[in-house]
């Protein structure tokens, strides 16, 4: 694996883990059920990120634990990659899809896309005064 692209390594390791878990636990869900379970697990891990960055304004602050935040983000990646694999994507497909979407997102921001609703509007009135401060 040392000669593989890092993203391909992540996909290979995740595929191996998923297959092992399914075999050892005798899990046989449909595609829809797996996607639902992985999406819910992803949401749960994102909630754990939110808990680490203290989104609850009604609680007392605590020091940020960057290592814990990073661990939760890795957990998100595990379930996200599982969903990619179940959808027939590999590292190359994810990379190519990301590159195309990134280009489209830039095009939208600069008015070079057919998609409407992304135009940057000139700041006027009260918003302009807030920006000057």
Q: 10 vs 3, 53, 95, 119, CA distance in Å? A: 13, 26, 13, 37
Kindly give the confidence (pLDDT) of every residue in the chain, 133 residues in length, as a single tens digit, with 9 standing for 90 and above. Answer: 777 799 999 999 999 999 999 999 999 999 999 999 999 999 999 999 999 999 999 999 999 999 999 999 999 999 999 999 999 999 999 999 999 999 999 999 998 988 888 877 776 666 655 665 5
Q: Which of the 8 DSSP states describes residue 133?
A: -
Coil, strand, or helix at residue 34? helix
Residue 70 belongs to domain with CATH number: 1.10.287.1080
Structurally, the chain folds into a number of domains equal to 1
Domain-embedded: residue 1: no
Contact criterion met (CB below 8 Å) for 84 and 14: no
Domain that holds residue 119: 6-132
Q: What's the CA gap between 101 and 107, in Å, rounded?
A: 10
Q: The pTM is what?
A: 0.83
């Amino acid at each position: 694996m040392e000669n593989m692209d890092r993203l391909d390594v992540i996909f290979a390791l995740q595929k191996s883990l998923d297959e092992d878990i399914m075999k050892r636990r005798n899990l046989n869900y449909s595609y829809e059920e797996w996607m639902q379970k992985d999406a819910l697990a992803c949401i749960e891990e994102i909630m754990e990120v939110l808990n680490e960055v203290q989104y609850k304004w009604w609680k007392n602050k605590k020091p940020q634990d960057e290592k814990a935040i990073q661990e939760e983000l890795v957990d998100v990646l595990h379930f996200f990659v599982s969903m990619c694999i179940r959808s027939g994507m590999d590292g190359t497909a994810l990379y190519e899809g990301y590159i195309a979407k990134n280009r489209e997102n830039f095009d939208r921001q600069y008015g070079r896309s057919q998609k409407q609703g992304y135009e940057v509007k000139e700041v006027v009135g009260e918003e302009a005064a807030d920006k000057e401060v």
